[in-house]
Amino acid sequence: MEPIRRIAVSTGGGDAPGLNAVIRAVAIAAFRHGWECIGIRDGYNGLFLPEQYPQGGLIALTPDRVRGITHLGGTILGTTNRGNPMKFPTPQPDGSLAEVDRTDELLGRFREHHIDALISIGGDGSLTIANHFAQKGLRVIGVPKTIDNDLAGTVITFGFDTAVSFATECVDRLHSTAESHGRVMVVEVMGRYAGWIALNTGVSSSSDVILLPEIPYQMEPVLATLRARAAAGKRYAIVIVAEGAKPAGGGHAVIEKRLGAAERLGGAGERVAKDIAEALGQETRHVVLGHLLRGGSPTTFDRLISLRFGAAAVRALAEGQSGIMVALDPPTVRYVPLADATSRMKTVPLDCDTIRTARELGICLGD
């Protein structure tokens, strides 16, 4: 195998706190191996669509360039969740847009720029693309990023801890206003089709009801819980709704279906709030935490696993590995095949300890 001289880093999909810490660890560890490290702007767009980047679509990630970024939210490279090269929205002769697989073209650009290996930092979408590249011969290591924590093969993805910590702080703040006004506060949190953020936030913030995508909900147990609370003299209640929660026999609340990208979820909390207000006649408000959960500085936990993941990704390349993802298997970081990590979504197991804890604490899960 040719020795590595130049590697590229790409951040794809929704951003997550800890991205910059991974970039810093990769850049410094690569430098210490004597490798050049470059960052691709906005997923692969900086490499694939150079005409859109008059200042250059690639950034030299020297140790100087990555100084002081560990604690910063977002990604210095930029990201996109619309640039999937396997389903690239491409104009057709009739003027319409169609999803076209353009990975061979993109792989050609990697060769033109003498990029020997790629570290792809992303969620299931980005890592599926990374796996496709690896199968076509590019040396690739994946790093698991997503606030949703829905990637298989790793106990935790970076960004999740920051999202849950902030969501919990928000709910803590809602308790007092809910109590003052005697209201039901419904809080919608991100997480796509997995309920990790909702479950961990709901239990940590002593919420009364938690609705998850994994448990299609009935309104009756939810209303019964709220009525019992009111009967016990409690003036208010907190209901956490995952954006992917759906009523039994119903569908997800979808805002938009997009070409070349995943559907956008939203509205699940508003739907539940409306049902509660109509059924109980109690004043109800809904709050969508949404993208607030993706912003801000990573927690210490996220910083540390991000730095560990970045260093382990470079270590894996130095060991001659490819087609794998670095993964947290406490207390160590290990490698799992990208194919396994992307073969299924990691949803909340219904018999997991946190679900059992929720039930034992009397939290209603809508079933």
The strand pair at 284-288 and 117-122 is best described as: unpaired
Written as six digits, the tokens of 316 are 């894996």
Range 141-200, binding ligand F6P (CB under 6 A): 146-148, 190-192
Proportion of the chain in helix, strand, coil states, percent, rounded to 5: 40, 20, 40
Closest CB to ligand F6P among 150 and 208?
150
Exposure letters 64-94 (e unless 16+ CB within 10 A, then b) = eebeebbebbbbbbbbbbbbbbbbbeeeeee
The C-alpha atoms of residue 351 and residue 349 are separated, in whole angstroms, by: 5
Shortest distance, CB of residue 286 to ligand F6P, whole angstroms?
Answer: 17
Shortest distance, CB of residue 263 to ligand F6P, whole angstroms?
Answer: 9
The strand pair at 88-91 and 97-100 is best described as: antiparallel
Q: Give yes or no for residue 213 binding ligand F6P (CB under 6 A).
A: no
Cα radius of gyration rounded to whole Å, the chain: 22
Shortest distance, CB of residue 82 to ligand F6P, whole angstroms?
Answer: 8
Q: Give yes or no for residue 265 binding ligand F6P (CB under 6 A).
A: yes
Site map for ligand F6P, 300-319, x if CB under 6 A? --------------------
Q: Give yes or no for residue 121 binding ligand F6P (CB under 6 A).
A: no
Closest CB to ligand F6P among 123 and 298?
123
Spot the catalytic one: 116, 124, 148, 161.
148
Shortest distance, CB of residue 234 to ligand F6P, whole angstroms?
Answer: 31
Residue nearest to ligand F6P (CB): 190
The C-alpha atoms of residue 343 and residue 17 are separated, in whole angstroms, by: 25
Query: Bridge-partner residues for 189, per DSSP?
Result: 242
Shortest distance, CB of residue 148 to ligand F6P, whole angstroms?
Answer: 5
Site map for ligand F6P, 62-81, x if CB under 6 A? -------------------x
Closest CB to ligand F6P among 288 and 317?
288
- Which one, of 218, 193, 191, 192, lies nearest residue 202 by Cα? 191
Active site residue 148: yes
Closest CB to ligand F6P among 194 and 355?
194
Cβ neighbours around 254 below 10 Å, total: 13
- # residues contacting ligand F6P (CB under 6 A): 13
Site map for ligand F6P, 4-43, x if CB under 6 A? ----------x-----------------------------
The C-alpha atoms of residue 126 and residue 124 are separated, in whole angstroms, by: 6
The C-alpha atoms of residue 241 and residue 189 are separated, in whole angstroms, by: 6
Give residues in contact with ligand F6P (CB under 6 A). 14, 81, 123, 146-148, 190-192, 243, 264-265, 294
Q: Give the active site residues.
A: 148
